[in-house]
Each structure stands twice: as C-alpha cells, then as structure tokens.
Amino acid sequence: MSSLDNLFGMHTQALALWQKRAEVLSSNLANADTPGYLARDIDFRKVLSGTSGAQAALPLSTTSADQIQSVASGGMPLSYRIPTQPSMDGNTVDTQVEEAAFASNSVHYQASLSFITAQIQMLRTAITGN
Amino acid sequence: MSLTNIFNIAGSGMAAQSLRLNVVASNLANANSVASTPQAAYHAHEPVFSAVQEGVSMAAQAAGSQAGDAAVGVKVDGITQSNAPIQRQYEPGNPMADASGYVYGSNVNPVDELVNMISASRSYQNNVEVMNTTKQLMLKTLTLGN
C-alpha cells in the first residue's frame, strides 16, 4: 500500500514546516525586548525546493566527509530578517511584522489541515460508498 | 511536536515580562524613599534579558551560537542597578537627614518606569496571543479528519 504513504502529498511536510515557522516566529515575539536579538524566519521557497529535490544552485562536491559541507545538512534554512527600523540595542524584532507573519502562518497551517481533512473525507466516501 | 515548544517559548516570554513589571512596581513604590547616604539611597533596578535555547543544556548553549535551533526563549540574566545621579534634598527636619541636613532620594525616573510598564504589558499580551493561537491550532489538529 505504498499509495497510502503518499496520500496526503506534501501537506504533512507542509504542516511540519508551518509548525517550525510558528516556533521561530514565537521566539521572535518572546524576544521582542531582548538586546542584541536578531529576528529570524524560514524561507518557504527554500524548504520547498529542498523537499521537492530541485537544487537552486550546484553544490560544491567534497572528497572527504571531514570537509566543510557547502550545503547545510538537515534542519530548516533559517535566515535573519532585514530590519526596517533598526533599534539602538541591536534588536531587529519588529513586533507588528512578526505578528502579521504569525497570523498568516497560522492560516496556512489551518489550510494544510483542511486539505488533509478533505483527503480523509474523500477516502471515507470511497470506503463507505455513500 | 514542535507546537508544544511554543508554549515554553511564550511562557518564558511571559515570565520575563512579568518580572519586568514586578521591577517597575518596586521602582515606582520606592520612587520617594530617602536615605542618609548616597550609597544607601534606592537605585532603580533594571532587568537584563537574554535569548536562551529551549531544551538545550547551559553548556551546549555556551558552545553553540544562536543560529542553531529554531526555538529560542527568554531568560532573565540578572537585575542591574541604575547609575543615574542620586538627588540630594535639604530636609533638616527629616529623621534620616545627615549631619549637614541632607537626605538622599532615589534615582527612579517615573516617566521611564511608566514607559517600561506599558512596553512590558504589551509584550506580555503578545505572548498571550501567541499562546492562544497555538492552543487553537493544536485543538484543530487533534480533531483532524472530522
């Protein structure tokens, strides 16, 4: 039943990504008053190209496992946010930006959830026949 | 389950902000305290926040940089005392007055403290909202497929 593994398509991975992003954004919000804290975010496009196997650029090949890998292994590609209003204490969290990102992130998460729900209901219809 | 991590992060933020509110309350309460020496006078307290990785030991925290894991909470590094100059008032009738009749007031700036209070309460509310949203998402995930 290998088709069952693929039942939900990319939505299970998307759920994990939205969860991770919610974590990053909530860290930003929690550290809104921490001096020197740099706000971070996950680039959805980068993760998508990573999971779909398409490489954005050709990675450098390494001849030994001890060499520094040009492509980060595992984990989510976190990038630092470019501040619109840099503050004196070096903190780059813009609370409004983070709140908006958090809200849109939770909508995306619920969208992924409803895609999965629709898939489950379709299967139910197929099984019960009514 | 990384959604549960958010509760820890937002919780650490709320704890830090409520400590900040606490410090503001002590500063405002002691704004008019006097002492007989500049050293003994009340100095305004200020909390120092720093980012801390959730679920990572302190040793690993010291070795690694911030860029590692996603979950970063807040911790209170300590409480510093303000170096602002102490006000001297001439009050010979005050029982706390020194030999030349001066008492030393606190260096609390009430305007600073009120601004701090508003900022802390807004940040606290932000963290509460994050927690509420996360709770709703988790409940929706639990009822997946209905």
Please tell me the predicted confidence (pLDDT) of residue B55.
Answer: 61
Q: Which residues of chain B have pLDDT under 70?
A: 1, 55-69
pLDDT of A59-68, one tens digit each?
667 777 777 6
Q: How far is B78 from chain A (nearest CA, A)?
A: 13
Cβ distance B83 to B39 under 8 Å? no
Q: How far is B7 from chain A (nearest CA, A)?
A: 9
pTM score of the predicted model: 0.80
Cβ distance B22 to A40 under 8 Å? no
Cβ distance B118 to B127 under 8 Å? no
| Beta pairing partners, A41 | A79
Question: Nearest residue of B to residue A24 by CA position?
Answer: B70
Q: Does B36 contact A at CB distance below 8 Å?
A: no
Q: How far is A112 from chain B (nearest CA, A)?
A: 10
Q: Does B66 contact A at CB distance below 8 Å?
A: yes
